[in-house]
Structure 1
Amino acid sequence: MTIPYSPGGSLPGVAAAEPPSGEQRPRLTFLGTGYLGATYAVCFAELGYEVLGFDVDAAKIATLAGGVVPFFEPGLDEMLQRNLAAGRLRFTTSYQETADFGDIHFICVGTPQRAGGMGADLSHVESAVTGLAAHLRRKALIVGKSTVPVGTAEWVERLVDKHADAALGVEVAWSPEFLQEGFAVQDVLRPSRVVVGVRSDWAGAMLYAAHGGIFDLAVTEDREVPVVVTDFATAELVKVAANAFLATKISFINAMAEVCEVAGGDVTQLSRAIGYDPRIGSRFLHAGVGFGGGCLPKDIRAFQARAQELGAGEALRFLHEVDLINQRRRGRVVQLAAELLGCPAGPVGPYFDDARVAVLGATFKPHSDDVRDAPALAIAAALARAGAEVHVHDPQGMPNAARAQPQLIFEDSLDDAVRGADLVCVLTEWAEFRTADPAHLGRLVAARRVIDGRNCLDAAAWRAAGWQYRGMGSRAGEAEAAAPVYRPPTPRPATAPVAAG
């Protein structure tokens, strides 16, 4: 059921639920204060809720309680400090304090890819649920937000039945998150939709009340927020299905880039042309070095693994190819670099013989410090393994990148990274890189060669400044761009009829 919000109202046909704490609004806890939980905790406090964030990591809790967000997300630091000062937001490492405080407990822990397999590791979910359930002393609603395999909510119900006092009537629900790193504050405060998987009217009414602040904000801005009330399985599938679709769209245009490169086409113009079709749209239709981060890669793999367990593996076989296309884009940059530098072939690939390469970007996307499965950092490491001297600069991701790939050389400025470089690779589309002056950079490098791994530069301006430019999915302007001439196959001669004998 999809419904719009009615100001001051509740779910159709369902009475408003009074929070078990007796407060006017439900008190909210967020278990897990990583990127997901900390962002939600801060934003819901901003909406006026009393919020408690929980984590077993005492250092992380101390950092947040001190007014510092331990990751980069625009606008979140100021919001954290404001709500700590207002007394609406606190943090703890105590399960008992969390259980005593909250009416609705959101599970926001990580679900990484299992070591040695494709499926999701649910150990953090299990620890959070069992640790909380054992300390509950009144009725409460436990709501999953983590991205999980379908069927997890029912498993969580069994955990609650085992570890919580049955007389309390603790219930479970699922409400997936749709955060985009770099835009997460807006995604919480102004979501495109709210999805809730519930088993009872009470659970639905409680979640409706928990999102009342979001709906009230929408009313003041004359917007509607669709609310999708559904079953557990559908609510769990929404996030992984959305991520699978986006990953497929990205890999599709990257597959077209491969075709464009051999056919002499321009994938940027191709993308623009098909993106005008309203059935397709232009978002996530930009060829480059592929997707990364902590969600899309591991989520499409876990989705495949779960479908296989359910006997529906054939339905998601295409996601294996999506993953392969995405990984192939990283190798394509190394190949392009070898071509531009004229590197000799080695036993396992090109050898860069101490060529100095500047890599601009380490995070998987701009407006983030997240380097998990980041194509930029993976390419930088591959170049270094192949013998290049790699100098990396990123506006926000340097500390995380240095921990992940300490063998690389990290520079504090764009100028320092490119100085003396034989090749520049732009691999994350930060504005600092997109708007850089190619004439200025040309005076710093040893040779004016650039790979635009995100197709984010003004190719004409860089070429005009004397740069040998290569994008992803286009060879326009290069001598080798001529496409092979198509020659229709010669028709076979007609077969002479066989005389009857």
Structure 2
Amino acid sequence: MTQRPRLSVIGTGYLGATHAVCMVELGYDVIGLDVDEAKIESLRAGKIPFFEPGLPELLGKHIDSGRLRFTTDYAEVAEFADVHFVCVGTPQKKGQYAADLTYVDAAFRSLAAHLTRRALVVGKSTVPAGTAARLAKLLADEAPNKEVELAWNPEFLREGFAVEDTLRPDRLVFGVRSEWAEQTIRTAFEPVIATGTPVIVTDYATAELVKVAANSFLATKISFINAMAEVCEATGADVTQLADAIGHDARIGRRFLNAGLGFGGGCLPKDIRAFIARAGELGVDQAVSFLRDVDEINLRRRARTVELGLDLLDGSYRGTKVAVLGAAFKPDSDDVRDSPALDVAAAVGRRGATVQVYDPEANASAARVHPELTYAASLDDALRGVDLVMLLTEWQVFRAMDPVTVGSLVAQRNLVDGRNVLVPSQWRDAGWHYRALGRP
């Protein structure tokens, strides 16, 4: 077996921390770096600064083993590792669609200055096409060792399943320019490749496009069924049954055809907007102009959900109490970035309702963004005495609610199922006024 390289992970946010911990689980020695000293101290103490099932246990295990450590020192990282994974964030620029590459550029420049021996630098951040070629030149110009090379390896993590997606991905994509770079990155994923995981070896530009193309396709599929939900409301059709029917077509499939409040989070919204921006810079903006419609359909779902609540409250939120179930953009996460649920909660609050938000994991994250809302300590506390219940993030604890039990807690039995995950007949039989997007 080829000797395994030692690895570094630059950036210890959601992607970086997960990658670092999981690569140790796969048998590598890893050092993680971040410029945020508080984050590094937390990780050294075995504490993950976000919610991700299974990750805290693995972090503790590998901190104790001594094969995972964390630092703020680029010189230490350059001396230790043979392969460096850059996993820093690429947020949306304020007031623009384009991606902010400040953190990526800073990470590459800081690392390059210390690369005195041959090494492979692997970009994992989601970046606009053309970024990798520019960063390869940066390494060539600024790394003391002129044999340092770049590879691009996009990530495909799903929040709530990130450990599984890292240890057992459905594919690996390697954007490389030399046989040495390909063989080196293969040794950095040897245990994963050995299980039969498909490997696509390609150029930089294609590797960069894979992630944004995949996210754009998924966003389009979600917005398609939500557009159909608007048509269903106008015709009296049922979008859930429609999705079941067309989902049986093998060319279409049923996954990602769940009509509801739409997508959010730190990836899909910003990635499709950055894709639109980059396509404009390249002069091919017409090729992805449909993504503007995808984004607009998605945002329209939030306004429509607010309207459904108004219908149940005789046209006004003022003076009412509303329970919002869910703050994270999806279940099994505490991520509230571009969260549809939190967006709706804030909109309802601005219309004069007293909003009681409950999320099993995201209350604290949500309170930092919207401190004007009230956050309940339990599901029962959120429901007690309210005039309207809005289920906006499909946590299992909400899906499993008993309509009779819940009915004994509320002041009025009004329910907006923003995720189409409840059985309408069960709630209506228990005396609830039930509304959902795209259903009669």
Measured against the shorter chain, the TM-score band is: over 0.9
Q: What percent identity do the matched residue pairs reach?
A: 60
The CA deviation string for residues 278-330 of structure 1, in whole angstroms up to 9 with x for no partner, is 10111111000000000000000000000000010000000000000000000
Residue 199 (structure 2) aligned to one of 227, 230, 233? 227
Residue 214 (structure 1) aligned to one of 165, 187, 192? 192
Given the alignment of the two structures, is residue 87 of structure 1 paired with residue 66 of structure 2, yes or no?
A: yes
Q: Which amino acid aligns with 2:180?
A: W
Residue 372 (structure 1) aligned to one of 334, 337, 347? 337
Instruction: Output the CA distance in 2 between the equivalents of 1:276 and 1:184.
Output: 28
Instruction: Output the CA distance in 1 between the equivalents of 2:29 and 2:86.
Output: 17
Aligned to 2:48: 69
Given the alignment of the two structures, is residue 339 of structure 1 paired with residue 318 of structure 2, yes or no?
A: no
Residue 29 (structure 1) aligned to one of 8, 12, 16? 8
Instruction: Output the CA distance in 2 between the equivalents of 1:439 and 1:423.
Output: 15
Residue 397 (structure 1) aligned to one of 336, 339, 362? 362
Equivalences for 1:195-214 in 2 at 5 Å? Answer: 195-214=173-192
Instruction: Output the CA distance in 2 between the equivalents of 1:462 and 1:162.
Output: 65
Q: Kindly report the root-mean-square deviation, in angstroms, between the aligned alpha carbons of the 2 structures.
A: 0.8
Please report how far the alpha carbon of residue 135 of structure 1 lies from its aligned counterpart in structure 2 after TM superposition: 1.1
Instruction: Output the CA distance in 2 between the equivalents of 1:242 and 1:284.
Output: 13
Instruction: Output the CA distance in 1 between the equivalents of 2:68 and 2:191.
Output: 15
TM-score normalized by the length of structure 2: 0.99
Aligned to 2:119: 140
Aligned to 1:441: 406
Instruction: Output the CA distance in 2 between the equivalents of 1:79 and 1:462.
Output: 41
Given the alignment of the two structures, is residue 192 of structure 1 paired with residue 164 of structure 2, yes or no?
A: no
Instruction: Output the CA distance in 2 between the equivalents of 1:161 and 1:37.
Output: 24
Instruction: Output the CA distance in 1 between the equivalents of 2:370 and 2:5.
Output: 44
Please report how far the alpha carbon of residue 214 of structure 1 lies from its aligned counterpart in structure 2 after TM superposition: 1.4
Aligned to 2:208: 236
Instruction: Output the CA distance in 2 between the equivalents of 1:199 and 1:161.
Output: 13
TM-score normalized by the length of structure 1: 0.87
Residue 291 (structure 1) aligned to one of 243, 256, 263? 263
For the residue of structure 1 that corresponds to 2:419, the secondary structure is coil
Preserved contact between residue 275 and residue 282 of structure 1 (Cα < 8 Å) = yes
Preserved contact between residue 140 and residue 146 of structure 2 (Cα < 8 Å) = no
Please report how far the alpha carbon of residue 161 of structure 1 lies from its aligned counterpart in structure 2 after TM superposition: 2.2
Instruction: Output the CA distance in 1 between the equivalents of 2:95 and 2:346.
Output: 22
Aligned to 1:182: 160
Residue 420 (structure 1) aligned to one of 357, 378, 385? 385
How many corresponding residue pairs?
A: 440
Instruction: Output the CA distance in 1 between the equivalents of 2:411 and 2:291.
Output: 42
Please report how far the alpha carbon of residue 116 of structure 1 lies from its aligned counterpart in structure 2 after TM superposition: 1.9
For the residue of structure 2 that corresponds to 1:415, the secondary structure is helix
Q: Which amino acid aligns with 1:277?
A: D
Aligned to 2:325: 360
Residue 285 (structure 2) aligned to one of 275, 290, 313? 313
Preserved contact between residue 46 and residue 59 of structure 2 (Cα < 8 Å) = yes
Instruction: Output the CA distance in 2 between the equivalents of 1:61 and 1:213.
Output: 27
Q: Which amino acid aligns with 1:175?
A: N
Residue 75 (structure 2) aligned to one of 77, 96, 101? 96
Please report how far the alpha carbon of residue 157 of structure 1 lies from its aligned counterpart in structure 2 after TM superposition: 1.1
Given the alignment of the two structures, is residue 160 of structure 1 paired with residue 139 of structure 2, yes or no?
A: yes
Q: Which amino acid aligns with 2:164?
A: Q
Aligned to 2:109: 130
Runs of 4+ in 1 over 4 A off after TM superposition: none
Instruction: Output the CA distance in 2 between the equivalents of 1:107 and 1:170.
Output: 14
Preserved contact between residue 193 and residue 199 of structure 2 (Cα < 8 Å) = no
Gaps of 5+ in 1: 1-7, 9-15, 17-23, 219-223, 344-350, 476-501
Preserved contact between residue 392 and residue 419 of structure 2 (Cα < 8 Å) = yes
Instruction: Output the CA distance in 2 between the equivalents of 1:156 and 1:367.
Output: 35
Preserved contact between residue 118 and residue 305 of structure 1 (Cα < 8 Å) = yes
For the residue of structure 2 that corresponds to 1:229, the secondary structure is strand
Instruction: Output the CA distance in 2 between the equivalents of 1:158 and 1:123.
Output: 17
For the residue of structure 2 that corresponds to 1:455, the secondary structure is coil
Preserved contact between residue 48 and residue 88 of structure 1 (Cα < 8 Å) = no
Instruction: Output the CA distance in 2 between the equivalents of 1:60 and 1:460.
Output: 48
Instruction: Output the CA distance in 2 between the equivalents of 1:318 and 1:119.
Output: 17
Instruction: Output the CA distance in 2 between the equivalents of 1:211 and 1:135.
Output: 24
Preserved contact between residue 196 and residue 230 of structure 1 (Cα < 8 Å) = yes
